[in-house]
């Protein structure tokens, strides 16, 4: 009977799909585990977990509020700590954190912020 055979095949396919969905649900991370995994992936390098790197940036002019907010926001986003010394002539930004975060922050400071545009 072709109808019965088709029904059996459809039922077998549905069971297989349901088993697949159940396995996926069992493996799914809780929201807290997912956040922890994402944080670990973005900011922790397993080879250098116990090493803190300090980075120092010399900036000619950090008086522009937009530039200051970018520097501060990105330090917070990358889980970095440090300080900025803002003077009339030269400003200095010191940050410390994990190697991955320092690398990302360095790209911001050296490439993404156009410091010559800030002077206008």
What are the tens digits of pLDDT across the range 42-85?
776 666 667 889 999 999 888 888 888 999 999 999 989 999 99
Q: Quick one: pLDDT band at residue 19, thresholds 50, 70, 90?
A: very high
Judge if pTM exceeds 0.85. Answer: no
Q: Taking 60 as the threshold, does the pLDDT of residue 120 lie above it?
A: no
Beta-ladder partners of 91: 59
The single-letter DSSP state of residue 28 is P
The residues that bridge with 94 in the sheet, in sequence order, are 56, 83
Return the CATH architecture of domain 45-118: 2-Layer Sandwich (3.30)
29 CB-side CA count, 13 A: 8
pLDDT at 29 over 60: yes
* Average pLDDT for 29-42: 87
The average pLDDT across 87-113 equals: 91
Phi, psi of 58 (to 5 degrees): -100, 125
The owner of tokens 């809780």 is: 30
The count of residues in the chain is: 120
Q: What does the mean pLDDT of the chain come to?
A: 89
pLDDT number for residue 75: 95
Domain residue spans of the chain: 2-42, 45-118
């Amino acid at each position: 009977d072709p109808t019965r055979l088709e029904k059996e095949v459809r039922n077998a396919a549905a069971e297989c799909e349901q088993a697949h969905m159940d396995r996926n649900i069992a493996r799914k991370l809780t929201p807290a585990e997912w956040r922890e995994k994402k944080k670990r992936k973005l900011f922790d390098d397993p080879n250098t977990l116990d090493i803190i790197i300090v980075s120092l940036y010399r900036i000619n002019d950090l008086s522009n509020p937009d530039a200051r907010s970018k520097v501060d926001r990105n330090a917070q986003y990358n889980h970095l700590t440090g300080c900025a010394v803002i003077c009339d002539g030269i400003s200095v930004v010191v940050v410390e954190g994990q190697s991955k975060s320092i690398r990302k922050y360095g790209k911001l400071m050296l490439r993404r912020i156009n410091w010559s545009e800030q002077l206008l």
